[in-house]
Amino acid sequence: MDEPKGRLTKDGIRIYGEADFAGMHVAGKLAAQILDEIAQHVFVGQTTGEIDRLITQMVDDAGAKSATIGYRGYQHASCISVNHVVCHGIPGDKKLKDGDILNIDVTVIVDGWFGDTSRMYVAGNLSRKSERLIEVTHDALMYGIEAARPGNTFGDIGHAIQSYVEGQRMSVVRDFCGHGLGRVFHAPPNVLHYGRAGTGVVLEEGMFFTIEPMVNLGRPETKVLADDWTAVTRDKSLSAQFEHSIGVTSGAPEIFTLSPAGKFHPTYG
Ligand code: MF3
Ligand code: CO
Ligand code: CO
């Protein structure tokens, strides 16, 4: 591992410089490109295992590394979370059915920098209620990102997400959060997707972290299955998630994982 760059705040959050933003931009862009490319491989009858195999190949073809293969014993280049799976779904040989909604989460390492992003997809036809869930979740992420400015707090980010989602009569998952990242996968702080405005650590220019809200149509509670990874909604309600890796600047945050093709909606591509 290279020397860590930048200084640490009193809360243990690393502050990065301009060259570091450039490194994150390259890693984030590759992760986003892979999510663009994979859209055409999501269809009824496809397996999540085949989608993961294609992602593994794309990471390899780009000369990059998967951050998830070998991470705490995880063995795949993506997490694929279908319907009531909240996150950390393990790719396998189950075939996608008409109307299934799925989150595909990819983290790559390029030149030591981590790009972590996820989006929603649909196999076949998207129902109105799934579409609404997915739209609310994406909007929630973007409201969270808008709040990521120096002088604001992490509570402001959580509050922006939670107040919007609950106003739409949906719920925010509490059991998983976003995270600092950079030259490591998971670093301080924990980025909660709920909270009170004005509370928590104050954001500073040069902080890198993910925001990755999980939103349920039903109740927020989750449980982890016997495989020790797959998290599902306890009430079996549908769940959606979007994730971006961002860097705090003096103005609007830089979104490292924006889609180069402008794709983010599950019916695009
Ligand atoms: N990419 C996930 C995140 O957003 C982490 C997946 S860890 C894995 O933080 F091991 F499950 F892949
Ligand atoms: Co993440
Ligand atoms: Co992720």
| pLDDT value, residue 73 | 97
Q: Which two tokens stand for residue 227?
A: 């495989």
Q: Which two tokens stand for residue 154?
A: 């992490």
- The span from the CA of 47 to the CA of 55, in Å, is 13
Tell me, in angstroms, the distance from the centre of ligand 1 to residue 54's CA.
Answer: 18
CA–CA distance, 130 with 215 (Å, rounded to integer) = 11
Tokens matching residue 186:
């998971």
Burial of 264 (0-12, 13-18, 19+ CB in 10 A): buried
Structure confidence at residue 117 (pLDDT): 98
Give the residue extent of every domain in the chain. 11-255
- pLDDT of 241 reads 98
Cα of 88 from ligand 1 centre, angstroms: 6
Per-residue pLDDT of the chain (269 residues; tens, 9 = 90+): 455 667 999 999 999 999 999 999 999 999 999 999 999 999 999 999 999 999 999 999 999 999 999 999 999 999 999 999 999 999 999 999 999 999 999 999 999 999 999 999 999 999 999 999 999 999 999 999 999 999 999 999 999 999 999 999 999 999 999 999 999 999 999 999 999 999 999 999 999 999 999 999 999 999 999 999 999 999 999 999 999 999 999 999 999 999 988 887 776 65
Residue from 106, 185, 190 whose mutation best tests the ligand 1 pocket (most atoms within 8 A of CB): 185
- Give 197's strand partners: none
Judged on CB neighbours under 10 Å (0-12, 13-18, 19+), 74 is middle
pTM of the full predicted structure?
0.97
CATH of domain 11-255: 3.90.230.10
**What six digits make up the tokens of 248?**
């705090």
pLDDT at 196: 98
What is the pLDDT at residue 265?
A: 74
> How many residues comprise the chain?
269
Write the residue with the smallest CA distance to atom 4 of ligand 1. 116
